Structure 1
């Protein structure tokens, strides 16, 4: 079945430009028409926000890039099957690390956001290069967006990329014992769930992961993440209005995106439950007062505080007549608040290497 694609109200050149960092409608044939239409609208409306910011995106001169490395065989181009864009990754290195060729540079694994259906690693390139400028090797992962796969499939993609990384860390001038993870928005959810999988055999089993990568994350920096993914009926009575974000996401992605999660719901799909059931590494949490899902980060911080865990909460308050909004350090790296956040991530992480 081919969906009716009405893109006439969107600027054709803007959509063409956006193909650099996201799928638009090339993966929607054969998808339930209502889901396909919702995903297409979500992607196009998000492009409207991201496109004007591209004028400020740039790579610092002192960062080296190794792009489009396949972490699964189908990530490499094959004339018969083509290429699965979701199975590629990039590596960003401070040039000094490449020159020094010593295994002392900490590593950040970055998982981009986009409501689980929008974006590829190129969406976060500007953030990744500026994070690398802070003295990190940054490994930026693709994963297959919905509707190409569901939540379990995305977590499986992340695990495949981590297994590749663990096998190849020695090929790069990095410290294999100082690996951190970061993610923003939906990527923040995937990063937190990945930490749960890496630190709990029960969580790994619940998400269908036979064996976690064992990469040994030293900590994480979670930016404006969505952490309450439990179903409303399973999360009932937990004292927080969980289920709202799940219903919002299902309205775009369809209920099929959350199939096969009964064993994880709710023990690994709400912030308090994850914290209660998993000993997480140190976490740097970031949100802002005008982040539309600020409450998600605050709930995670509250759970960590009650457990006595090692974390920092950075809850930015924008100045009067100003706005920071959602994932501001990722989409607006040039702002003073973003530059300070990057420096804070460096301090937090280097202190825990």
Structure 2
């Protein structure tokens, strides 16, 4: 398709208007998050270390936090890796800090990274940042108490999308080449997706501003790269891969519940092993998008997050038992 000069100018102006609207919306979200954190109870008995740089860069987004229980009984603890949400345009390593603190308080070593955001990079750049943080953890995690034989990867909303891609890329040399990364030297015991937007190509089918501007989001995610545009959805990258078990967390009052329904269809079609923790609409209108991350202290959030950790424990124990059986057979 060819555009005359005036038509191209109009398109650029339209994109600028959309970007301004998106950034204004996320600025409002940031203000709400700031107010929420001011009122929110901070999980107790947690030690945290902040602003480790996982790249040789001054970019504040390319940093990560570590969280541990204040009183450790073991030299190493099972690992939880959290990928924050924020519509690919918003957030940093601190966005989910109280959620990460809560998970650590339950006896886990937790890492939460930042990553560069749209429109400064496309999804390839975001995936490269996440893999860089995983490489950092593979090098420095064990000496800091991270047991990388037992790893839970989790992400919420857009972070759920990125976590789902990471799980697939880890299992595919073809995807590693497309996204410009190398697999890391540990595996994921469980991948838990919280209200994930793992099928961004289906955003036009939903409601709200993000759906109204879906074409803009998709263009920024792909960066205009046709090959990347064909590998944005979990359904596009998961085919024929041997994936770890997944857990889908959410509920019918999630504004993006259509995304959860779509993901369940993909799980079934691709024979992905999965469990769910999905709250019915009758459980209450307060159980909205990523409620268990934003409000870790709610009873429903505690139930949800403990269910995720217990599923991780079960799979970790099964793995250990299988390895012990293999050793007995030698």
Show the counterpart of 1:13.
none
Mark the CA change 1:218 to 1:348 in structure 2 (over 3 Å): closer, same or farther.
same
* Residue of structure 2 in register with 1:86 after alignment: 61
Q: CA deviation at 1:242?
A: 6.7
Cα gap change, 1:65 to 1:224, in 2 (>3 Å): same
Relative to 1, partners in 2 of residues 1:294 and 1:247: Cα closer, same or farther, differing over 3 Å?
Answer: closer
1:143 shift after superposition: 0.3
- d(CA) in 2 for partners of 1:352 and 1:226? 25
1:268-347 equivalence runs, <5 A? 268-319=231-282, 322-347=285-310
1:102 aligned to 2:65? Answer: no
How does the TM-score come out when normalised to structure 2?
A: 0.83
The one of 99, 107, 110 equivalent to 1:138 is 110
Report Cα offsets for 1:98-125 as digits up to 9, x if no partner: xx3523x111111100011111121100
Return the match for 1:263 from 227, 230, 233: 227
In structure 1, which of residues 50, 53, 70 is the aligned counterpart of residue 53 of structure 2?
A: 70
The residue aligned with 1:118 is 90
Partner residue, 2:326:
none
Does 1:229 pair with 2:165?
A: no
SS at match of 1:217: coil
Local SS of the residue matching 2:127: helix
The equivalent of 1:197 in structure 2 is 169
| Unmatched segments (≥5 aa) in structure 1 | 1-31, 75-82, 231-240
CA distance in 2, matches of 1:285, 1:129: 21
Residue pair 2:118, 2:220 contacting (<8 A) in 1 also: no
Report the counterpart of residue 186 of structure 1 in structure 2.
158
**Cα offset, 1:214, TM superposition:** 3.3
Cα 1:261–1:33, aligned 2, differ >3 Å: closer, same or farther?
Answer: closer
Partner of 2:128: 156
Structure 2: segments with no counterpart, 5+ residues: 1-14, 317-330
Q: Is the 8 A contact 1:67 1:89 kept in 2?
A: yes
Offset at 1:296? 1.2
Query: 1:262 & 1:279 partners in 2: Cα distance?
Result: 26
Describe the shift of the 1:338–1:248 C-alpha distance in structure 2 as closer, same or farther (beyond 3 A): same
Cα deviation digits, residues 154-206 of structure 1 (max 9, x gap): 11111111111111122112312111211100100110011111111122222
Give the helix-richer structure, 1 or 2. 2
Q: Partners of 1:306 and 1:225 in 2: how far apart?
A: 18
Structure 1 position 256, deviation (Å): 3.7
1:128 to partner: Cα distance: 0.5
- After TM superposition, the score normalised by the length of structure 1 is 0.78
Residues 186 and 226 of structure 1 are in contact (CA less than 8 Å); yes or no, is this contact kept in structure 2? yes
3-state SS, counterpart of residue 106 of structure 1: strand
Instruction: State the number of aligned residues.
Output: 299
Partners of 2:126 and 2:70 in 1: CA distance: 31
**Root mean square deviation of aligned Cα:** 2.3
How far apart are the structure 2 equivalents of 1:91 and 1:318? 35
Partner of 1:263, secondary structure, is helix
Return the offset for 1:318.
4.1
Please tell me whether the aligned partners of residues 197 and 259 of structure 2 are also in contact (alpha carbons under 8 angstroms): yes
48-57 or 172-181: which moved more?
Answer: 48-57
